[in-house]
Amino acid sequence: MFADKKHFTSAIVGALVALSIIALVLNLVKVEDVTLPPTVKYGMVFDAGSSHTSLFVYEWDSDKENDTGVVSQTLSCDVQGQGISSYTHDPPKAGDALRECLDKALKVVPAAKQRDVPAYLGATAGMRLLREQNSSAADRVLAEVAKTMREYPVAFRGARILTGEEEGAYGWITINYLLDSFTKYSPKAHTWVRPEAANIFGALDLGGASTQISFMPEGSEMQWNESSTFTLYGSNYNIYTHSYLCYGQNEMLKRLAKELIVESSSSPRVVHPCYPRDYNETVSLSSFRTSPCTNRSDPRLTLSDRSVTLEGRGNASGCLAAVRKLKLFNFSACGQSQDCTFDGVYQPPVRGRFIAFSAFYYNFKFLNLTEGQSLATVRDTVERFCTRSWEDLSSSYPDENPERLPKYCANANYILTLLLDAYKFNETSWKNIFFQMKVGSKPSCG
């Protein structure tokens, strides 16, 4: 995912733990891990996301810059199959799925260094949800993963579930690392130097099961439980970071469907304002039991095995209203407080420029809204897209996944609600959000 930092012009930004690899290496690799001759060292990290797992092999020089390593990527390998949280009924398969990528990794690491290579696995929201629903099942999956990794000639350092705040903070570190905000290579001096006017960016991530916001607020007053402090390249950084479990894109779609069904008084056919006209989708109420985000006790709905058909209406305003009002966000919990997002969660005012990646980027890229368009243009584009029929969309985008295509209207309205109503970006600060898949040069202010 990340090119050699001395030469790269861009780096693909994907799942957050994949982003956090640099942060893990920068912060978790201790001095005693960096004792092998010659100077190049290696590290392996598995990104165990909610839908898939990837392995990344990194290398760095043993001579750290102000006690922080300068890291580049050597290998990336996508693990076949779904995320490890899907192996609850056959945990050994979660470990076996890693073997192909581990074998590839050993081919790029010199044999003499393999046993000293620190190897980690970090799991994110998919496993956090599994742990909430069935902690023993989550433990079994992690145990099988660890068992497999211990069979290989590497220095296994653990397989664990990252907290949402770690996920958000690591993404913030990596974005700014790639943008040379912490340190920059000087060809003239042949060394790494701290930029004279460091420009720190905020990070916005939207995954399948959770979403994160991380940034440096104005001043230093923050609630202690919402802040993280890092020392990188000899400088201290105090950031605000918060993760919202069950507010990822996939879980939001499930929760929206459930709320629409509840509001319809358990009718067998339910209007879905976000789906395209003439598009129908049949769901079983039992499917809501598969996630803690929709399986919570709700006297309004009996989760039987009966099926309900969701009928698309292509109603742009109705879609936005549904996302805002159908108990997806509890805005009333904030009262009159300005330093609050929803559900009573504290957040200082957003400040500075932000990189929005993962599902933020992919949805807006599909709608051709990643070129710095104004908020008015974004709203108009989303509204016009939402009114299109299923026949129109299917013929216009024949190569698009037919399971994703009908969801873009709901996703876009969710993104607007999250950024504007929850995080409190406005017409002015919207211009400071850069929707990017690639990071490697500072976004322009144009």
Cα gap 298→303, rounded to integer Å: 9
Cα gap 120→26, rounded to integer Å: 13
For strand 40-48 and strand 202-206, is the pairing parallel, antiparallel, or unpaired?
Answer: unpaired
Point out the catalytic residue in the list 59, 144, 165, 167. Answer: 167
Partner residues linked to 180 by β-bridges: none
Q: Which amino acid is at 431?
A: K
The 8-class DSSP code of residue 184 comes to E
Please give the structure tokens belonging to residue 387: 């009114």
For strand 184-186 and strand 155-161, is the pairing parallel, antiparallel, or unpaired?
Answer: unpaired
Neighbours of 400 (CB within 10 A): 14
Cα gap 342→332, rounded to integer Å: 7
DSSP 255-268: HHHHHHHHHTTT-S
Closest CA to 65 of 235, 236, 229, 238: 235
Please give the structure tokens belonging to residue 267: 């009718």
Cα gap 350→368, rounded to integer Å: 25
Cα gap 364→433, rounded to integer Å: 12
**Radius of gyration in angstroms for the set of CA atoms belonging to the chain, rounded to a whole number:** 23
Cα gap 296→124, rounded to integer Å: 21
Closest CA to 301 of 327, 333, 332, 331: 327
Neighbours of 446 (CB within 10 A): 5
Per the annotation, the verdict on 167 as an active-site residue is: yes
**Residues involved in catalysis:** 167
